[in-house]
Amino acid sequence: MRWWGWGEDGAAIALPEPAARLLAEELDLSGSERGTRVELADVRVPDPSLPGAARRSLEEAVGEGNVLDGMEERLAHAAGRSYPDLLRLRSGDASGAPDAVVLPQGEKEVAAVLGACTDAGVAVIPFGGGTSVVGGVEALRGGHASAVTLDLRRMDRVLEVDRTSLTASLEPGLMGPQLERLLGEEGLTLGHFPQSFEFSTLGGWIATRAGGHFATRQTHVDDLVQSVRAITPTGAWESRRLPGSGAGPSPDRLLIGSEGILGVITQAWVRVRPRPTIKASRAVAFDSFMAGAGAVRELSQSGLDPANCRLLDATEAQFNQAGPPGKAMLMLGFESAHHPVEADLDVALEVAAAHGGEPQDTAGKDDDSVGAWRDAFLAMPYLRDGLARLGVLSETFETAITWDRFEALHSAAMAGAREALGAKATVSCRFTHVYPDGPAPYFTVLAPARRSSEVEQWDAVKVAVSEALINAGGTITHHHAVGRDHRPWYDRQRPAPFARALVAAKRELDPVGILNPGVLIDPAD
Amino acid sequence: MRWWGWGEDGAAIALPEPAARLLAEELDLSGSERGTRVELADVRVPDPSLPGAARRSLEEAVGEGNVLDGMEERLAHAAGRSYPDLLRLRSGDASGAPDAVVLPQGEKEVAAVLGACTDAGVAVIPFGGGTSVVGGVEALRGGHASAVTLDLRRMDRVLEVDRTSLTASLEPGLMGPQLERLLGEEGLTLGHFPQSFEFSTLGGWIATRAGGHFATRQTHVDDLVQSVRAITPTGAWESRRLPGSGAGPSPDRLLIGSEGILGVITQAWVRVRPRPTIKASRAVAFDSFMAGAGAVRELSQSGLDPANCRLLDATEAQFNQAGPPGKAMLMLGFESAHHPVEADLDVALEVAAAHGGEPQDTAGKDDDSVGAWRDAFLAMPYLRDGLARLGVLSETFETAITWDRFEALHSAAMAGAREALGAKATVSCRFTHVYPDGPAPYFTVLAPARRSSEVEQWDAVKVAVSEALINAGGTITHHHAVGRDHRPWYDRQRPAPFARALVAAKRELDPVGILNPGVLIDPAD
């Protein structure tokens, strides 16, 4: 990925012209300065401080050519891809860079690296695609003098496919497109499409409890994981490959979402399925977001289980050029590899109609408008770079909340963002996931960036919305993870005894505290 | 529940005449002795050994009338309801009895009891319905001199129903029938029907990761729990009421399945749904269990999600008088509170037919044969008492395994049981749950009890089948829990670092080790 933004060098997706015009009007960017960035040569990467002995033992662990400390390699691992990450990088600040980047080839090498770093007291930051938007991959050192990033990109194989049980054994460094391509050769799909899909990895998804966006039912990677293998600083962790179990608390569920603080995920069996071949979808317009939300609630509780059930408010719909002006839009889709789904769509459209929804002709019943939506969705991270160049602050917030408290949370979050950003901002909402007991609302804020105080501006809106979400009873994150940025609210959200149990588990498995210091818990704990 | 068996005094369900005749023929019971039991007056309950100071502080915690140490009360909490439990109880051995039974009224009283027992070093055994079949509720003392059972039967209220989000806040002592009756008054159901349903409690289901048998999709209570509140010896644990979250490892999942060793569950929000009003079901006959298994595999991977999809082998079918002789039987049912389900059943019957399945006329498409099956299913624990009187050893084993390894596991378990029990035994199998990636096979063994060496006989078959399950890659339990009886195999199954993490968490939350000593982990760990 390019060092200052999203995508590979040369790849860019421009903001569509109508959206750019709309944005310029809404935000009144006439007087705003365009965003700038320094040249690569001017980026300030701190001098590497890895002791010679530690470096040599790492080279023993993974081979000489796989301990890298070139400036560009270290810069590429200096930060995730949050808005403040990008501000920092574009200004030439790479202070989050590790002292070296280590590239293990397999599990034994991972174990050797953890052993060497435990002995030397060097922090280790497990790294998949580096797409964290919550400060999850910056190479903070905790109490240690040095830090290395453990980049798992060389561990990217499909190890085995079990067509009978519809499961596959995968390595953690597999990125979304490659993973789907290799499974696709067998006619299978994992069906997990987080927005970072193009550059994020299986290991990262499991470590952060990622949510795949193209699904209403089993959306979190939690449900797709059948077993996990991980290397902790004090031994290998391997759960059994089981469709279900009642033997004690689930070991997998302690690892899933542990964000690299307990161990390094080295392999997982995941549940796959035949690629859907039968599809039916339709867009439905509603007079208001809340009318659409009523329909979505009934759909989510009906047992119909649409493969896609995404609700956009009128602002989001307008930016995405979906549906008539002023209307909230529901993207509804059913799919199967096994049997017809048109009847399900018909029932769902009846439900929508009962809530005032008007099916649109533009998306025919048997075309792939859901696929088009997915492509647009995966393009969004690219647009952020274009927005930055236009001088636009862009940020997203996501949560989950029960249906009974959704309207109050929605009002509080919208008001909090508007208050923090001022009159020129646009704040919009969509549902990225829905469950029978509640939606996962996703808020997008756009505002003219306040030149030279962008970080303070971002911080103000981050605090305002996060406070609103937590005070309204939501989660601080439904699928973006905690990292370091969400820590203040995560600490209020999690049960206090669970926090103590997690610290005790961490101390037992990683006694020197080398793994990802500062993420989820304090290094001092 | 009666002290020596299943059900309330006076209630009994006799073995149906054809099944009794069949059994007598199969097992050749002509020479076997009938089971006996001692009179209540002859049961040996050890003298209570609770120190006076501890007793007084418990009385302060819950009120004088709620610390009980009468012989019958202590006997009622001396054991669960496994086959060896029943053998022991019927022989008059109540050595597992606690020194007292404590009945808290609410959370504050639970906290006060845990505080008093931590101070006095008294073991505490949390107790719901006492239906454990794995040695989960016997009052073992660990390193302590005394033990009390914390019976949660007074905490049995529905606290709140949220009709918008379809969730309910429930107390842990609610037993199945009462829970369903109270939710039913609102037109709702939890839809969780473990075989112990009549006498087991919500708190017990959560603590043991129970599987509800009348469901193919979200069968484990794990999926039904939205949030949990528990009292640990060092503070209250409360998770947020959320439809989904990606904020660190799931706190709930560490508590669910913790079998009372981390804390006492005092309240939970659970996901409920409208009572199904639209039903379609059919029984389907197959020439062999494996042919039926092929159909069930395709159904489980089809996305059709039948509400009931239970496969019985020919022996089980014969005992249940389901279907023609020699045929394996599939009980297939769809239900909804929202929309028609007949089309789904038609597709499922086509799938079954493609695997050689023949739909039976006896269960009409729109009758409630699934309900009849459920009633019969819930009656089974009663039959065990009748079997014991006939002089029959009865035991069940359950596991889960991926589809690719199912046949090998099935052969190994059947052979292991037959070898341990000898030629007169019957061994049968059914699927209690199915997932896209594998089934949960459930084995029933029946054999003439070897008088005066029943425990050794039971032990031999327990070891033989458990070894077969673990060696074939299965779980030692899909829904019966671990307790103390499954410990040897659980210890081999769980990842070693997870075991250390669990011990560390336990030590942090329960530093004196008062909670349920010996369950899941060793008191000495």
Q: How far apart are CA A370 and CA A331, in angstroms?
A: 7
B232 touches chain A (CB under 8 A): yes
At residue B365 the predicted structure's pLDDT band, cuts being 50, 70 and 90, is: very low
Q: Tens of pLDDT along A98-156?
A: 999 999 999 999 999 999 999 999 999 999 999 999 999 999 999 999 999 999 999 99
Could you tell me if A144 and A65 lie in one domain?
yes
Q: What is the CATH number of the domain that holds A446?
A: 3.30.300.330
Q: Give the position of tokens 């499991």.
A: A206
Q: Pick from B50, B81, B221, B219: which is nearest to B144 by CA?
A: B50
- Rounded to 5 degrees, what are φ and ψ at B216? -105, -20
A187, pLDDT greater than 90: yes
At A368 the pLDDT is: 55
Q: How many CA atoms lie within 13 A of B443 on its CB side?
A: 27
Contact call for A254 and B253, based on CB within 8 A: yes
Nearest residue to B124 via CA among B106, B98, B96, B152: B98
Rg of the Cα atoms in chain B: 23
β-bridge pairing A308-312 and A273-274: unpaired
**Which of A23-37, B344-358, B368-382 has the largest mean confidence?**
B344-358
Tell whether the model's pLDDT for residue B213 goes beyond 80: no
Per-residue pLDDT, A362: 60
Pairing of strands B235-238, B392-398: unpaired
Where a domain ends, among A274, A290, A318? A274
Give yes or no for a contact between A493 and A507, defined as CB atoms under 8 angstroms apart.
no
The answer to whether residues A165 and A264 belong to one domain is: yes
Task: State the sign of the Cα–Cα–Cα–Cα dihedral B269, B275, B279, B285.
Answer: positive
Whether residue B45 lies inside any domain: the answer is no
Determine the distance in angstroms separating the CA of B53 from the nearest CA of chain A, rounded to an integer: 29
User: Which residue intervals of B11-106 are DSSP H helices?
Assistant: 17-27, 52-62, 71-76, 83-90
User: Are residues A373 and A397 both part of a single domain?
Assistant: no
Q: Tell me whether B483 touches chain A (CB under 8 Å).
A: no
**Site from A250, A266, A407, A471 to mutate, B interface, most B CB atoms within 10 angstroms:** A250
Give, in degrees to the nearest 5, the angle at Cα A522 between A517 and A523: 50
Of the candidates A183, A281, A166, A251, the one whose C-alpha atom is nearest the C-alpha of residue B434 is A166
Q: Across chain A, what does the average pLDDT equal? A: 93
Spell out which residues of chain B touch residue A477, defining contact as CB-CB under 8 Å. 245-247
Q: What are the pLDDT digits (tens) for A443-494?
A: 999 999 988 899 999 999 999 999 999 999 999 999 999 999 999 999 999 9
Task: Tally C-beta pairs within 8 A across A and B.
Answer: 310
CB distance A22 to A392 below 8 Å? no
Q: Residue B145: how many CB atoms within 10 A of its CB? A: 14
Contact B164 A220 (CB under 8 A): no
Tokens of A413: 């979050």
Please tell me the distance in Å from B68's CA to the nearest CA on chain A: 30
Q: Which residues contact A6 (CB under 8 A, 6 or more apart)?
A: A81, A199, A381, A382, A384, A385
Q: Are residues A260 and A236 in the same domain?
A: yes
Q: For A350-379, give one letter per residue: b (16+ CB within 10 A) or e.
A: ebbeebebbbbeebeeeeebbeebbeebbb
| Residues on chain A touching B242 (C-beta within 8 angstroms) | 400-402, 438, 474-475
Q: Is A262 part of the contact surface with chain B (CB cutoff 8 Å)?
A: yes
Residue B467 resides in a domain: no
Contact map slice: A 123-182 vs B, CB within 8 A: 162, 164-167
Report which residue type is found at A487.
Answer: R
Nearest CA among A401, A477, A474, A495 for reference residue B243: A401
Residue B362's pLDDT band (cuts 50, 70, 90): low
Q: State whether A266 and A292 are in the same domain.
A: no
Domain match, A318 and A353 both: yes
CA distances from B168 to A473, B162, B474 (A): 16, 6, 34
Residue A291 belongs to some domain of the structure: yes
pLDDT for the residue B364: 44
Task: Classify residue B324: in a domain, yes or no.
Answer: no
Are both A82 and A118 inside the same structural domain? yes
| Least confident segment among A8-17, A279-288, B465-474 | A8-17
Q: Are residues A244 and A215 in the same domain?
A: yes
**Distance separating the N- and C-terminal Cα atoms of chain B:** 34
Interface probe, candidates B164, B231, B350, chain A, greatest A C-beta count within 10 A: B164
Of these ranges, A154-168, A369-383, B385-399, B449-463, the one predicted with the greatest mean pLDDT is A154-168
Evaluate if residue A366 carries a pLDDT over 50. no
CB contact under 8 A, A244 and B402: no
Q: Which residue of B has its CA nearest to A238?
A: B495
- The backbone torsions φ and ψ at residue B302, rounded to the nearest 5 degrees and listed phi first, read -85, -20
Residue of A nearest to B232 (CA): A497
Q: What stretches of A248-349 adopt beta strand conformation (E)?
A: 264-271, 273-274, 278-286, 308-312, 328-336
Mutate to test the interface with B, among A162, A402, A442 (most CBs of B within 10 A): A402
Angstrom distance (rounded) from CA A376 to CA B516: 54
pLDDT confidence of residue A361? 77
- Range of B228's domain? 158-274
Q: Which of A132, A154, A176 lies at the terminal end of a domain, its last residue?
A: A154
> Which is nearest to A395 in space by CA: A82, A90, A26?
A82
Asked if residue B228 is part of any domain, the answer here is yes
Which of A284, A283, A297 has its CA nearest to residue A216?
A: A297
Distance in angstroms (rounded) separating the CA atoms of residues A457 and A461: 7
- Please indicate whether, in this complex, the C-beta atoms of B246 and A220 are within 8 angstroms of each other: yes
Which residues of A fall within a CB distance of 8 Å from B257?
A: 246-250
**Cβ atoms within 10 A of the Cβ of B185, count?**
10
pTM of this structure: 0.96
Which residues in chain A are closer than 8 Å to B235, comparing Cβ atoms? Answer: 496-497
pLDDT in tens, B384-438: 888 887 889 999 999 999 999 999 999 999 999 999 999 889 999 999 999 999 9
Q: Label the pairing between strands A146-151 and A122-127.
A: parallel
Mean pLDDT of A292-296: 98
Of A255, A301, A400, the CB nearest to B245: A400
- Domain boundary at A131, A154, A177, which? A154
| Angstrom distance (rounded) from CA A361 to CA B148 | 68
Cross-strand pairs, A237: A230
d(CA A152, CA A137): 13
**Alpha helices for B196-244 (secondary structure H):** 202-208, 221-224
Q: In angstroms, rounded to a whole number, what is the distance separating the alpha carbons of residues A133 and B173? A: 43
The verdict on A193 and A258 lying in the same domain is: yes
For B402, the closest of A165, A208, A297 (CB atoms) is A165
Q: What is the CATH number of the domain that holds B238?
A: 3.30.465.10
CATH number at residue A313: 3.30.70.3450
CB contact under 8 A, A436 and B243: yes
Partner residue opposite B477 with nearest CB, options A166, A247, A473: A247
Does any domain span residue A509?
no
Q: What span, in angstroms and rounded, lies between the C-alpha atoms of A276 and A184?
A: 11
pLDDT at A423: 80
CA angle A130, A135, A140 (to 5 degrees): 95
Per DSSP, what are the bridge partners of residue A445? Answer: A395, A427
Does a structural domain hold residue B213? Answer: yes
Q: Determine, yes or no, domain membership for A520.
A: no
Q: Nearest residue of B to residue A471 by CA position? A: B240
Please give the Cα distance from A459 to A83 (Å, whole number). Answer: 10
Give residue A520's region: left, alpha or beta (phi > 0; psi -120 to 50).
Answer: left
Give the tens place of pLDDT for each residue, B88-123. Answer: 999 999 999 999 999 999 999 999 999 999 999 999
**Inter-chain touch A343–B343, beta carbons under 8 Å:** yes
Whether residues A41 and A148 fall in one domain? yes
Q: A34 phi and psi, to 5 degrees?
A: -75, 145
- Find out whether B90 and B4 touch, Cβ atoms under 8 Å: yes
Residues A46 and A146 in one domain: yes
* CB within 8 Å of A31: residues ≥ 6 apart: none
**Residue of A291, A431, A436 lying closest to A355 (CA atoms):** A291
Which one of A161, A164, A435 would you mutate to disrupt binding with B, by most B Cβ within 10 Å of its Cβ? Answer: A164
What is the pLDDT, as a whole number, of residue A371? 63
d(CA B316, CA B322): 8
**Same domain, residue pair A333 and A431:** no
Task: Tell me the residues of chain B between 264 and 323 that have a Cβ less than 8 Å away from chain A.
Answer: 271, 273-274, 297, 301-305
Maximum CA pair distance of chain A?
70
Q: For residues A205 and A170, is the Cβ–Cβ distance under 8 A?
A: no
> How far is residue A508's CA from residue A521's CA, in Å, rounded to a whole number?
14
Tally the domains of chain A. Answer: 4
Using N-to-C axis directions, what is the helix angle for A83-90 and A454-471, rounded to 10°? 170
Tell me whether residues B435 and A244 touch, CB distance under 8 A: yes
Angle at A305 between CA A301 and CA A309, to 5 degrees: 90
Q: Do B339 and A302 touch (CB under 8 A)?
A: yes
CA nearest to A149, candidates A207, A64, A74: A74
Q: Mean pLDDT over all residues of chain B?
A: 93
CA-based angle A486:A489:A491, to the nearest 5? 100
